[in-house]
Amino acid sequence: MSAASDYAQHLPAGRRAAARHEPTERRWAWRRHDVCIAEALAPASPARLLVVHGAGAHSGALWPIASLLHGRGLEVLAVDLPLYGGTRTHDPAGVRYDDWVALLVDLVAAERERDPRPLVLLGASIGGMLVLEVAGRTSGVDAVLATCLLDPRDARARARMTRFGPLAALAPLLLPAVRGRLARLRIPMSAVADLRRMSRSAALSRQCAADPRGGGARVPLGFLASYLAYRHTGPRTATVPVSLVHPDHDSWTPMELSARVLRRLRAPSRLVPLRGCGHFPVEEPGLGDLLDEVGSVMADVGGRR
């Protein structure tokens, strides 16, 4: 069973068959990384959608939702960032959050060169702030959708994202010590993030936490330090429309954490609660809310051509 089919079993029964459309995969060479990109082509699609995972998933985990969007006639791509999924990297211990930002900026440029249609970014979990950051750094993005907008420099966000609770407030004091060999030490993502709250479904949460290509991946302490210290400029530099499609039953990262960032945006923005969904939005009716909002944004940017 493929990763996409394996994760599709957690969708509502009526969605599972449509969610099992397998993607094709291609490779993209970026610096010293062999990047895996999953895609489902749709030449008549008015725009293209690039799906970006967070720290507990990968393209295969998110592909069932991408497949449902493809079933609506949309062209969808999903990238595996270094340390996750099928992407291979020369030096995993040297990967930093800054690499994720730079990779996506270059990938947007490469995709716009390959295909001139508008490009929309959909970021899941910490991928939401990531795609907003990318949109603020390149003119190649036409709209952003995010399931979360988490600012790692906000102590309240750190307390909810990590297992450390109020102790996360001490992170700025400890981060300078993460350097040299210590920065290259790789630890399970589940040791830092409370992946038990990934989903309202305990089975899906366990699968994400155990998946060696996703939540079970080992990440260098230097990557975690670089993420927690990263000063995102996207909220003040991005000018494209932003839709925060936030699960309204997210027990891991409450909506208000993301809404605080949304209120700081200079770009046009809207909040679309995903009704009944946990952090990984697979429940109805919120899953339908997500599909509808993505379709609406894609039609809107496609209509501007």
Q: The tokens 């079933």 sit on which residue?
A: 71
Q: What is the mean pLDDT of the segment spanning 18-38?
A: 95
CB–CB of 298/66 below 8 Å?
Answer: no
For 60-113, how does the pLDDT look when each residue is reduced to its tens digit (9 = 90+)?
Answer: 999 999 999 999 999 999 999 999 999 999 999 999 999 999 999 999 999 999
CB–CB of 55/193 below 8 Å?
Answer: yes
pLDDT at 170 (0 to 100):
44
SS3 state at 7:
helix
Q: Please give the Cα distance from 42 to 144 (Å, whole number).
A: 20
Q: Please give the Cα distance from 62 to 78 (Å, whole number).
A: 8
Residue 232: which domain range? 3-303
**Structure tokens of 234?**
């996207």
Number of domains in the chain: 1
Lowest-confidence region among 18-22, 146-150, 206-210, 270-274? 18-22
On average, the pLDDT of the chain sits at 93
Helix (H) or strand (E) holding 242: strand 242-244
Q: 91 or 169: which carries more pLDDT confidence?
A: 91
CATH number of 153's domain? 3.40.50.1820
**Structure tokens of 150?**
């988490």
Helix (H) or strand (E) holding 231: none
